[in-house]
Amino acid sequence: MSSGVELRELRVFLTLAEELHFGRAAERLEITHSRVSQVIRTLEARVGGRLFERTSRRVRLTPIGEELKRRVSPAYEALDLAWSEVQELVAGISGTLRLGVYTHAAGEPHLMQIITTFEARHPACRVRVTETGLGRDPVDWLRRGELEVLILRPLSDRDVQLGPIIDRQPRVLAVTVDHPLAGRDSVCVEDLADFTTTDVPTISREIMDAFSPPSTASGRPICRVALHSIAEAVVRVATGELVHPTVPSFFERYPDPGVIGVPIRDLPAAETALLWLKSNRSAKITASADAARDVVHPREASQSVGHRASARGRPGRKLQKA
């Protein structure tokens, strides 16, 4: 470039433009805070104006910074993708695919078959599964580059690509066997306003509110309390403290003889999908989506154009928390 700007400098700028925090940007880039500051000062000197407004409390893009981000981001992503694709053409799909689930139950019943299918097709690439838990927003793991693919409820984040739906389950309410709602054939969201339900503050409000509504259709608020783990929900439901909107597989993963599920008739089925950042379009991610789609929708796969090598099963292996 005639201006002498290097790709690594643009990477620093774009990362800071996403994080709007020097410390987090430095952590993502695995460089020092001072190095981020130095690169930004150099870019500002070349541009001839401030790219960021900095105070002791916040960092934000200036109009010039916004314009530079708008113009540079697509070009940088295209170059980054081209480089990745050339590397993968040489080496094939290899290394490690980092896959995250907030709880292993979220990937059932297809997770192991998806992993087996992917690894059989791409023997030079292994899948490493990380249980992200409920400590922070699962999508944050993607944004920080700690994971490449997530199994999560669908959401409409502009930076996140929605992949194949891998599971769809009806909604049920977990209650104790002697709960006032336990004897019903079904319940509705309106019934939940009379009891205390569950919330996970670290999960996107879009996902959480769809899974455990904050209010009824008539406008009655539903009291929700924070959970720190899925196992905690079982204990607090079993003691009668809470009711928990969930799905049938919850009872397979966390069985308790004192807890049953009552169908919720007016909540749509809960879906689980593969998600990844739109800016990360590597061949590994595409291949993982193909494997998931072929496992969950085998009829569609058999009718698709072109031949894919059939996946030969490997001996099962336990998932390991990263």
Q: Model confidence over 162-178: pLDDT tens digits?
A: 999 999 999 999 999 99
Q: CA–CA distance from 121 to each of 13, 99, 110, 164, 312 (Å)?
A: 37, 17, 17, 18, 8
Q: Which helix (H) or strand (E) holds 39?
A: helix 33-47
Q: Could you tell me the two tokens for 179? A: 């709960």
For residue 73, which of 17, 28, 22 has the smallest C-alpha distance? 17
Instruction: Domain 171-268: give its CATH superfamily.
Output: Periplasmic binding protein-like II (3.40.190.10)
Q: What is the number of other CB atoms lying within 10 angstroms of the CB of residue 186?
A: 14
Strand partners, 274: 151
Cα-based torsion angle of the residue sequence 212, 216, 219, 222 in order, rounded to the nearest 10 degrees: -50
What would the pLDDT profile of 20-72 be if each residue is shown by its tens digit?
Answer: 999 989 988 889 999 999 999 999 999 999 999 998 889 999 999 999 999 99
Question: Do the beta carbons of residue 155 and residue 207 sit within 8 Å?
Answer: yes
Q: Could you tell me the two tokens for 145? A: 């580059």
Contacts of 77 (CB under 8 A, 6+ apart): 279
Cα distance between the two ends of the chain: 41
Strand partners, 128: 98
Residue type, 251: F
Compute the mean pLDDT over every residue in the chain, rounded to the nearest whole number: 87
Name the fold adopted by 7-89.
Arc Repressor Mutant, subunit A (1.10.10)
Contacts of 63 (CB under 8 A, 6+ apart): none
Cα-based torsion angle of the residue sequence 171, 175, 181, 182 in order, rounded to the nearest 10 degrees: 100
Distance CA(320)–CA(12), nearest Å, equals 33
Instruction: Specify the pTM.
Output: 0.67
Q: Can you give the pLDDT at residue 88?
A: 65
Question: Do the beta carbons of residue 264 and residue 169 sit within 8 Å?
Answer: no
Give percent above pLDDT 70 in the chain.
Answer: 89
- Residue 130 has phi, psi (to 5 degrees) of -115, 130
- In this structure, the strands spanning 223-226 and 196-199 are parallel
Q: Is the preceding peptide bond at 268 cis, omega within 30 degrees of 0? A: no
Domain ranges of the chain: 7-89, 93-168+271-303, 171-268
Name the fold adopted by 93-168+271-303.
D-Maltodextrin-Binding Protein; domain 2 (3.40.190)
Give percent above pLDDT 90 in the chain.
Answer: 66
Contacts of 109 (CB under 8 A, 6+ apart): 167, 249
Query: Reduced to 3 states, what is the DSSP secondary structure of residue 238?
Result: helix
Q: Can you give the pLDDT at residue 253?
A: 86
Higher pLDDT, 127 or 106: 127
Summarize the confidence of residues 126-144 as an average pLDDT: 91
Matching fold, domains 7-89 and 93-168+271-303: no
> pLDDT-derived band of residue 85, with 50, 70 and 90 as boundaries?
low
- Residue 120 has phi, psi (to 5 degrees) of -70, -35
> 310 pLDDT exceeds 80?
no
Distance CA(250)–CA(230), nearest Å, equals 9
Contacts of 258 (CB under 8 A, 6+ apart): 176, 177, 238
